[in-house]
Amino acid sequence: MPFARRTTLLALPALLLARPGWAQARLDELRGRLTEDTAESFGRFVSDHLDQTISLRLAVAAGLATEDAGRLRLSLDRPERMQITFFGGYAAQAAAVAVDSVYRVRSDGMQMGILIYGLDPLPEAEARQARQSVRPIMLG
């Protein structure tokens, strides 16, 4: 086989993978109603996606989270003691809080034995782009 042809054949897989959007990873999108019964699954989802981008489409049951200074805080005892803070991407409604955004999950360390996670919403244009390819996961 001529050298030029062999080089071209070896480079072909790399060229295919380099195409923008060709092998774009699917974004995990958690959907459903966040209640006392599903809180443990939600906490596990967040901790499993540390330093990753996630999409959330949730209805948070009234009384489960508290809003303070433009932040929504959720305290969980299972799967381990943790506090999850949403820094945007939510809207308070009569019977629940609607969470509908794409977030970057970060760790804010540990305080008095409680793991602290922060969910930073992506800018709207980036979120729209990220949601073009999602893998839906039902909460529960």
- In angstroms, the CA 105 to CA 89 distance is 13
Identify which of 99, 93, 104 has the alpha carbon closest to the alpha carbon of residue 127. 104
Cβ–Cβ under 8 Å, residues 108 and 82:
no
> What share of the chain in percent tops pLDDT 90?
73
Domain range annotation of the chain: 25-138
Using alpha carbons only, what angle is made at residue 31 by residues 29 and 27, rounded to the nearest 5 degrees? 5
| Res 15: pLDDT | 41
Identify which of 101, 131, 112, 106 has the alpha carbon closest to the alpha carbon of residue 49. 106
Q: Give the DSSP H or E segment for 13.
A: helix 3-18
Whether the predicted pLDDT of 13 surpasses 90: no
Cβ–Cβ under 8 Å, residues 81 and 92:
no
pLDDT in tens, 62-118: 999 999 888 999 999 988 999 999 999 999 888 899 999 999 999 999 999 999 999
5-9, 15-19, 35-39, 99-103: the lowest-pLDDT one: 15-19
Mean pLDDT of the chain: 87
- In angstroms, the CA 81 to CA 67 distance is 19
Residue type, 82: M
The torsion angles phi and psi of 81, rounded to 5 degrees, stand at -65, 125
Q: Give the DSSP H or E segment for 125.
A: helix 124-130
Query: Can you give the pTM of this predicted structure?
Result: 0.80
